[in-house]
Chains A and B, each alone.
Chain A
Amino acid sequence: MTPIDATETYRQEAQELLEQLEHALLEIGHRPGDADLIDSAFRALHTIKGSGAMFGFDRVAAFTHHVETAFDMVRKGKVAATAELVALTLAAKDQMRRLIEAPDAASDADGRAILDRLQAAVDSATVGAAPVESGAAAGPVTWRVRFRLPSGAMATGSNPLLLIEELRELGEATVTALTEQVPALEDLDPTECHVGWDVILTTLEPRERIEQVFLFLLDDMELAIDRVETCDDPPRPGEVLVARGDVKSAELDDALSRQAPVGKPLVETGTLSEDKLAGALAEQQHVRAASAAKSGSSIRVPAERLDEMMDRVGELVIAQSRLKQITASSDDPQIQSVVEEIERLARELQDTTMGVRMVPIGSLFGRFRRLVHDLSRDLGKEIELVTTGEDTELDKTVIERLADPLVHLIRNSGDHGLETPDGRAAAGKPASGRISLTARHAGAEVLITIGDDGRGLDRARIQARAEENGLLAPGAKLGDEELFKIIFEPGFSTAREVTNLSGRGVGMDVVKRTIEDLRGTIDVRSTPGRGSEVTLRLPLTLAIIDGLLVRIGRGRYVIPLTAVEECVELTPQDDLRSTGRSFLSIRDELVPFIRLREQFRTGTPPDPYQKVVVVSDGESRVGLVVDQVIGDHQTVIKSLSNLHADAASFSGATILGDGTVALILDVPQLVEDGRARDDRLKAAG
């Protein structure tokens, strides 16, 4: 084990807390009265101060103490969370970061200036006796809804299932049926609903919304809606029962005296029905889950350890398949079953380990809120950031490397793309500009789009600048796509003035380089006056994929299954006919194909029955001629070293069951190659 460096641990923890603080502050900007957010910000400040003092970060502790004092006023409702106050607290947060990360460079004078301004803001924003309305639109609240339909409700067409469905739509719900009033069979009236329900619901909606669900039955039915406190310490079942009114305090004390667990004795004495006990236990579980979601329990693990773990798992999988091969000839059923068990475990372990590395991109998007906030202030433009697809998962290392390019692209959109408020008014657009950040999966790729509703790219100016800088021959005519790609060339900038944000002509080439390093591509689209859109296509490298294992010559290769549309046989007729241009007719559609045997120069004769694997890069389809389709294969992608950076047909490699290495075909690249070769053939006539 590596020795734990307490200072480093504090730095990491503080880093997280500062992010939490920043997030809370920015949200407070939108919902100034939200008590939960204010609490969350306050807690972060408090912890930074407390552990700072403990680990010897005295300057951090001293500075944070003052900020905390000021913010405590907000928390107690004595001061309103004005935009100014939020901005100053953000500035204070930056000072804390400097004090933690580069204490030598952080000046105390700056710190004092921030504190003075913060004090002034607190003084001016002090609200007399009017406390901030709290809890109104706060975070999710957990409700206990117990209902029983009025008699005759079924006859009038009420359906309890629909009601429960509707409740479920409001939020996270745990439903328990209460069956203790169901009569014995001989007394049962089949037209009545004898079952009651307990629904524990965690929702953002107000209480009225829950009542609305029962709108038409409200008068006669039994309905109780109570708020359940969620806290870090989940309530004990006994307390839950008393709170629900199922058991009286005295009965509980009596039951408790007879030793835990509390439920059993109460049921035995007939004080409590089993359903009600089950309901209480479900509630406890639900509350515990809600609290867990709130505190977001997680641990920090260095990425290298995950890499090591993945390597070990890879070795295990290979060892396991060797074991399988060796035991295949054995007819001892005991050995066979153990081998199967190990195979299943190894695969599950592999999946879990891969899953651990995947991180939703939302963690990255969150960081840009602050960037846009600052951009908006510095540029004097109102900017709204809209993010979608935060759940899209990408390998952690890829996400980390995406941070810089995205910063550059967002800055560029804000600075060059969006017009000034006057300009927007003149163009008849809403005053607030919009930058959108979208992530989604498409086949074997993740697409990340940065869009704005600004003025769009200026074709003429890009052309003029490119000619000036010698990036383009004078008078050259290029399509939109090619011309827009020039903005990613090093040293290219059309900005008339260099601002502190962009215009130096560095930045966009960083974007290009990083994306290329990740084996991704960049598309630019733009409509004059309507805005522009940059799409980053990233392969899911480092991830696990489902692959199709094929044989070409003597080599085995993996084609990402998501790119595969179908497999067809290459008939001898098609094979012979297609000497010049290689096209195949599949259901009356022409699909070009590439003979991989020729492309890879295998020097082997073709198999008599070659197969065509039709793949798609999202836009065009292409057939890959292989000698044999072997089957599907769970593929752990291993990246190739720089020594093979020139082998462009492959996006990586993987290790097969028998321990040999197989290459993974880079489908978009092959499609591109095929197109290029086709064009050459056409040109050669």
Chain B
Amino acid sequence: MKAAMIDRPLEVLTMDLQGQTFALEAAQVREILDLVPVTEVPGSQPFVNGLINVRGKVVPVADLRLKFGMEQTEDTIDTRFVVIEIEIDRVPTIVGIRADKVHEVTELAPSALADVPRVGMRWRPDYIRFIGKRGNDFIVIPDIARILSSGSAEPANENLTLDRTTAGPAVASR
């Protein structure tokens, strides 16, 4: 969707990832959880290698930092999981998004939304829906469905999957 097609204010939940402000569409957010124990899933893609319990449901946790080339720092007292419900590859899925800190629900006016610039970006442009502007600050509104879709695996991961079917990870790690 183009930013120009947005005609009403977008309600978003803002959060921090390594000092950069990100925002998730408020309509997708189901709840925000404090830091809970995360179960690691061996053999899964690194950015979704955890599971948490959300009211009796087993929910995968996505760490967007890995998709945006950020450093993975230790959890702090501010770490939260934002539980969202989105369609991934046309399947409604509940996902927990790890956030360093959650701020607030706010409205972004259509005029404050811009499409992703084609140049001068260090992140994959298709991972970002809009760039929002608030004061002098930029807010990244990521395209979660796109990021989590199976078709957008990192090249490194694709290699891994290929290896598994032919020679296996033991060979790949040599």
With a cutoff of 8 Å between Cβ atoms, the chain B residues found around residue A647 in the complex are 41-44
With a cutoff of 8 Å between Cβ atoms, the chain B residues found around residue A662 in the complex are 39
The reply to whether A661 and B170 contact each other, CB–CB distance below 8 Å, is no
With a cutoff of 8 Å between Cβ atoms, the chain A residues found around residue B36 in the complex are 659
- B53 within 8 Å of A (CB atoms): yes
A-B contact pairs, 11 of them (CB 8 A): A314-B56, A600-B43, A640-B51, A641-B59, A643-B95, A653-B39, A653-B51, A655-B58, A659-B37, A660-B39, A660-B53
- B26 within 8 Å of A (CB atoms): no
Of residues 635 to 665 in A, which have CB atoms within 8 Å of B's CB atoms? 638, 640-650, 653-655, 659-663
- B111 within 8 Å of A (CB atoms): no
How long is the Cα–Cα vector from A312 to B150 in the complex, in angstroms? Answer: 31
With a cutoff of 8 Å between Cβ atoms, the chain B residues found around residue A459 in the complex are none
- B4 within 8 Å of A (CB atoms): no
- B75 within 8 Å of A (CB atoms): no
The residue of chain A having its C-beta at the shortest distance from the C-beta of B39 within the complex is A661
Q: A660-B37, A661-B53, A661-B58 are in contact. Are A644 and B48 (CB under 8 A)?
A: yes
The reply to whether A650 and B41 contact each other, CB–CB distance below 8 Å, is yes
- A305 within 8 Å of B (CB atoms): no
The reply to whether B43 and A648 contact each other, CB–CB distance below 8 Å, is yes
Q: 16 more A-B contacts (CB under 8 A) besides A640-B41, A640-B58?
A: A311-B55, A311-B56, A555-B39, A602-B42, A641-B95, A642-B150, A643-B88, A643-B95, A644-B44, A646-B45, A647-B41, A655-B58, A661-B39, A661-B58, A662-B39, A676-B168
Q: Size class of A's contact patch?
A: 20 to 34
With a cutoff of 8 Å between Cβ atoms, the chain A residues found around residue B170 in the complex are 677, 680
The residue of chain B having its C-beta at the shortest distance from the C-beta of A654 within the complex is B58
- A565 within 8 Å of B (CB atoms): no
The reply to whether B51 and A642 contact each other, CB–CB distance below 8 Å, is no
A residues at B contact (CB < 8 Å):
311-312, 314-315, 318, 555, 599-602, 638, 640-650, 653-655, 659-663, 676-677, 680
The reply to whether A312 and B39 contact each other, CB–CB distance below 8 Å, is no
The residue of chain A having its C-beta at the shortest distance from the C-beta of B150 within the complex is A642
Q: Closest 7 A-B residue pairs measured CB to CB? A: A314-B56, A600-B42, A661-B39, A638-B58, A315-B56, A661-B51, A653-B58
B residues at A contact (CB < 8 Å):
36-37, 39-45, 48, 51-53, 55-60, 62, 88-89, 91, 93-95, 148, 150, 161, 167-168, 170-171
With a cutoff of 8 Å between Cβ atoms, the chain A residues found around residue B60 in the complex are 640-641, 643-644
Q: From DSSP, what is the main secondary structure of chain A's interface residues?
A: mixed
How long is the Cα–Cα vector from A494 to B36 in the complex, in angstroms? Answer: 56
Query: From residue B73, how far is it (CB to closest CB) to chain A in Å?
Result: 19
With a cutoff of 8 Å between Cβ atoms, the chain B residues found around residue A660 in the complex are 37, 39, 53
With a cutoff of 8 Å between Cβ atoms, the chain B residues found around residue A655 in the complex are 53, 56, 58
Q: A314-B56, A660-B39, A661-B58 are in contact. Are A642 and B91 (CB under 8 A)?
A: yes
Query: From residue B58, how far is it (CB to closest CB) to chain A in Å?
Result: 4
The reply to whether B53 and A318 contact each other, CB–CB distance below 8 Å, is yes
With a cutoff of 8 Å between Cβ atoms, the chain A residues found around residue B161 in the complex are 646
How long is the Cα–Cα vector from A315 to B41 in the complex, in angstroms? Answer: 22
With a cutoff of 8 Å between Cβ atoms, the chain B residues found around residue A661 in the complex are 37, 39, 51-53, 58
How long is the Cα–Cα vector from A642 to B151 in the complex, in angstroms? Answer: 12
With a cutoff of 8 Å between Cβ atoms, the chain B residues found around residue A680 in the complex are 167-168, 170-171
With a cutoff of 8 Å between Cβ atoms, the chain A residues found around residue B57 in the complex are 311, 314, 638
With a cutoff of 8 Å between Cβ atoms, the chain B residues found around residue A648 in the complex are 43
With a cutoff of 8 Å between Cβ atoms, the chain B residues found around residue A599 in the complex are 42
